[in-house]
Amino acid sequence: MLVAFVAVAALLIGRLAWVQVVWGPDLSAAAELQRSRVYVDPARRGEITDREGKQMAYTMQARSLTVSPIVLRKELTTQERQAMEIEGIDAKTIDSQLDAKVEDRLRTMATEIPKLIEEGGESSREASGDVDSDEILDKLHADTHYEVLVRNVDPDVAERVAGEFHGVASDHQDIRQYPNGAIGENIIGKVSMDGQGQFGLEASGDSILTGINGRSTEDVSANGQPIPGTLRDAVPAIHGSNVTLTVDLDLQTYVQQLLEQSKANSGAKSAEAVVLDVATGEVLAMANTDTIDPNGDLEKQLDKGKNFENPSISHPFEPGSVAKIITAAAAIEEGITTADEVHTVPGSIQMSGVTVNDAWVHGDLPYTTAGIFGKSSNVGTLMLAQELGEEKYARYLDAFGIGQPTGIELPNESAGLSPALEQWSGGTFANLPIGQGMSWTTLQMASVYQALANDGERIEPRIIESVVDENGEPVEQPEAERTQVVSPETAKTTVDMFRSVFQEDPAGFNSGTAQGQGIEGYQLAGKTGTAQKVDPDTGAYSQDKFWITFAGIAPSDDPRFVVAVMLDEPQRGPLEGGAGGQSSAPVFREIASWLINRDNIPMSPEADTIVLQEQ
């Protein structure tokens, strides 16, 4: 008996030693995993405001009701077993009834949670949407460790649900709000259900706006109750930075609504406009038609042609005669001509085997340099370009940023197209100076005119004014690059010449292509453009499909704003009833008038008439 006792004792001691020494660390680790819970404290996403502090995107707190189905069912089984054992129910009966009791608990949860949300009021119902009991029950039966039962629950309602039902957690959730609907959505973009930026600044600025989540670890008992004193590894959340844009929300609203009206009035396929501050290059408005409302039914809007795109920076087009201002500035800068020099301009010109005509039939005409551009003569423009030469002209294209991204802090920007000099064919130089054979975005178009309005200095356009972290400290942003494209004297001469575009003359000799589109009491400068689209069937320029462009400076005697506009295939004028001619100039005038009135800009001094044609 003694030997047997000793043998059994030795066996038990050996087994205990094996469990403690060999299995011990693994069992301890497994036990810790079973009882420990990691809690995440989500970082709040930074808000986006306009230059005056008006909210364009912000985050509202909500809750997601979540469970770990596998853990929940185990804990409910333990609770029901313990309850029946306390009642003195025998083991056999417990085993036969246990699964049914757990199932009753699950079905009660699936039925009562939607009721509690319904009782939370209209705001709770709208945020959460339709809550389906069957869907909740399916999730409670899932063989997973994490399921979201309901999203976007009011915090008070979620707290009540979590308090009533074991195993249901009220997880912090951020709901991104866009209070202005479609206004500025092409700039702002949106975030996904998981809080990641998908479009616009929400995507390109995701690293700035998104903070770093905090986290902590705590142990819980078998029935899911926290064990006091076990909270550890607590790391606080670092919230995202707040971004202030250069955009003026009131102006953005006006321009976006004006474009929608202009599209409807003219029958255009789409419309775009960009407004820049001359002195800083800041984007004051960047709008296009068919912008989606992130607060509405996205599927229905997408079916109607609405979208999240920002074609003002991503969809380049041939600028047409708007581009002639580069030829004008280069010719003045290189001393090839002066504003009042008279040129004999024929009705057509031969360049490298290509014949280029003016838009109207005429014989030799005595146009001044200002008249060549005020009348928008292709022939006169190419005559000056020939004197300038291909190499110099190519350098000016590069200096004005053509074929290069502007560096705007938004995603999917196109560089446009500007063929390298070594790739020019015989007819390339017959196209580029008159705005064909290259493509610009509306933002690039505005940037070219900003440079000339700003004493010849091009400033990379910017749309972020400032970034401030959660502690209110500024976050340094890259400085906009500056390029002195032409001298201040050349810039002023060029801008003055392009006042002729708005000039009116009853006799017609000194009338520009945008006559009648001026603003009484103010000097304006700008250029109309009509760019033929390429017919995909023939590969040649279409005779009835055009991009209609306009870029201008207001006021031209003291430049404050640059406005660039593009209408895609308008059938009529952009004003009410299709008035205003097949031109984008009326849209420019409306935006410029709004800006002048808002800022109460003093009237311009009376200007002398610019001679466009010798009589």
Residues assigned a catalytic role = 321
Distance CA 14, CA 8 (A): 10
Among all chains, which residue has been given the structure tokens 């005056």? 52
Distance CA 97, CA 69 (A): 20
Among 199, 217, 440, residue whose Cα is nearest residue 319: 440
Q: 121 Cβ partners below 8 Å, 6+ apart?
A: 154
Residue count of the chain: 615
Task: Please give the structure tokens belonging to residue 148.
Answer: 């979201």
Q: Which residue type is seen at 84?
A: M
Beta bridge partners of 216: 39
Distance CA 49, CA 54 (A): 5
- C-alpha angle 335/360/392, rounded to 5°? 25
Distance CA 600, CA 553 (A): 16
Distance CA 347, CA 360 (A): 8
Distance CA 433, CA 330 (A): 11
Q: 464 near 202, Cβ under 8 Å?
A: no
Count of other CB atoms within 10 angstroms of residue 235? 12
Q: 552 near 562, Cβ under 8 Å?
A: yes
Q: 256 near 193, Cβ under 8 Å?
A: no
* Three-state DSSP class for residue 554: strand
Distance CA 572, CA 247 (A): 30
Query: What are the CA-CA distances from residue 260 to residues 16, 181, 267, 288 (Å)?
Result: 81, 15, 10, 8
| CA-CA-CA-CA torsion sign (565, 571, 577, 583) | positive
Please enumerate, as own/partner, the contacts of 575-583 that have beta carbons within 8 Å and a separation of 24 or more. Answer: 575/262, 575/265, 576/261, 576/265, 577/265, 578/265, 578/266, 578/267, 579/265, 582/266, 582/530, 582/546, 582/548, 583/514, 583/517, 583/528, 583/548, 583/550
Q: Which residue type is seen at 479?
A: E
Task: Please give the structure tokens belonging to residue 125.
Answer: 């119902």
Provide the Cα torsion 482, 485, 487, 492; round to 10°: -100
- Written in H, E and C, the secondary structure of 23-68 is HHHHHHHHHHHHHEEEEEECCCCCCEECCCCCEEEEEEEEEEEEEC
The per-type count for the chain, helices as H runs and strands as E runs, is 21, 20
Q: 394 Cβ partners below 8 Å, 6+ apart?
A: 421
Among 590, 551, 600, 592, residue whose Cα is nearest residue 257: 590
Query: What are the CA-CA distances from residue 34 to residues 24, 39, 74, 221, 224 (Å)?
Result: 15, 14, 11, 9, 10
